[in-house]
Amino acid sequence: MVIPQLDGFLLTVCDNGYGKRTKVDEFPTKGRGGKGMIAIQASERNGPLVGATQLFAGDEIMLISDQGTMVRTRGDEISVVGRNTQGVRIIRLKENENLVSLARIAEPQEDDFIKSEVDSADVEGSTAD
């Protein structure tokens, strides 16, 4: 489940290596009993939806196929298109190879570097009794 932040994009990827980024604000809030929204067309070309995640500027993604192909790419390189469209090819797969997973790799914040430097200093300064 994606809990959207309005400054991001929704990345959707399909079985045959196609996907797209769509602005989160293109998905209106629905109340209880809603029938859902089309995020990407699941066509013969695209195949079924594999996954969706929210991306922000500077994020990267990792795509993994059922035959072990792994591709890491910047999310900013994926086209931003409308909600009810098919998307673009984001990973080239071999025949009979399918996309099985995606993962968002967030851009590290400056605070993360400061914290890890402090943690490593604590480790180096500690001694065993």
pLDDT tens per residue, range 18-75: 999 999 888 877 777 777 788 888 889 999 999 999 999 889 999 999 999 999 999 9
Report how far residue 55's alpha carbon sits from residue 28's, in angstroms, rounded to the nearest whole number.
18
Say if 1 falls within a structural domain: no
CA atoms within a 13 Å half-sphere pointing along the CA-CB vector of 114: 3
Q: pLDDT category, 119, cuts 50, 70, 90?
A: low
Say if 40 falls within a structural domain: yes
The predicted model scores a pTM of 0.76
Report how far residue 23's alpha carbon sits from residue 56's, in angstroms, rounded to the nearest whole number.
10
The proportion of the chain whose per-residue pLDDT surpasses 90, expressed as a percent, equals 48
Say if 116 falls within a structural domain: yes
Contact between 63 and 91 (Cβ < 8 Å): yes
Report the Cα 90 to chain-centroid distance in Å: 12
Query: Between these two residues, 105 and 121, which has the higher pLDDT value?
Result: 105
Q: How many domains does the chain have?
A: 1
Predicted pLDDT at 28: 79
Residue 110 DSSP one-character state: H
Say if 3 falls within a structural domain: no
Residue 87: domain span? 9-125
Say if 111 falls within a structural domain: yes
CATH code, domain with 30 = 2.120.10.90
